[in-house]
Structure 1
Amino acid sequence: MSKTLFLHIVNTLAAREEFFQERPDAIDRQGLTTLQKCTSAIRQLATGQTSDIFDEYLNVAETTGHECLKKFCRGVCEAFSAEYLRKPTTNDCQQLLLHHEACHGFPGMLGALTACIDNGRITSRHGGGNT
């Protein structure tokens, strides 16, 4: 994830959700930063590991890490769903196809090959050869 995208998500969540704002904890010590909370959630999503693995790395306890993940997912969906979590339009698909063809030289990434595995061989939907 680019730094710009990460900071955009962090700043959006901090502006919308009190949980992601930096504030003192129960004994008036500075609590976790917005960056710590969002990093914990993204690391859990990226690695599939439980929140307790990041305790030493980010100083985020297991229960707090779990709460970060839940609130991060809910916050991202609420903040960005109208623009990003929608079905792609015809124009979106065309843009993806053009970009992928230009970068990878493989036209038709959105469904040209529907592979199925049959006895360890991969065949295409169009009856192509085995790999």
Structure 2
Amino acid sequence: MPSNSWWPSSSDDEEEMFFANAVLRAGQILIEEEEEEEDFSSENVITRRIRINRDRQGAHEKLVNDYFSDEPLYNNEIFRRRFRMSRRLFTRIANDLAGLDPFFTQRPDA
């Protein structure tokens, strides 16, 4: 074997083999982890979202009682500040929308 510094020595060959084996092993580990993830994701795992009871019906009734009943809790000035329009204009828009598009009419849940 020539004694030139550019010629690989046996220790260089051992290092290359060590690093090549390390890279191969790392690749095998990654492939195994991906296969495990695929196995887990392919299972029929049902995840459910947490249901938060927001009492929508009660909130609707409170809104109607506070602003739209015969004797509302809040007067016209507070209504205008809250909704940035008069109660009369709000009611007119709501009625016009309900007449134009059935999406805006209240109906029972299916």
TM-score range, shorter chain: under 0.3
Higher strand content, 1 or 2:
1
Taking structure 1 as the reference length, what is the TM-score of the superposition?
0.22
Taking structure 2 as the reference length, what is the TM-score of the superposition?
0.25
Larger relative contact order, structure 1 or 2 (CA cutoff 8 Å, min sep 6): 1
Higher helix content, 1 or 2:
2
Bigger-Rg structure (1/2)? 2
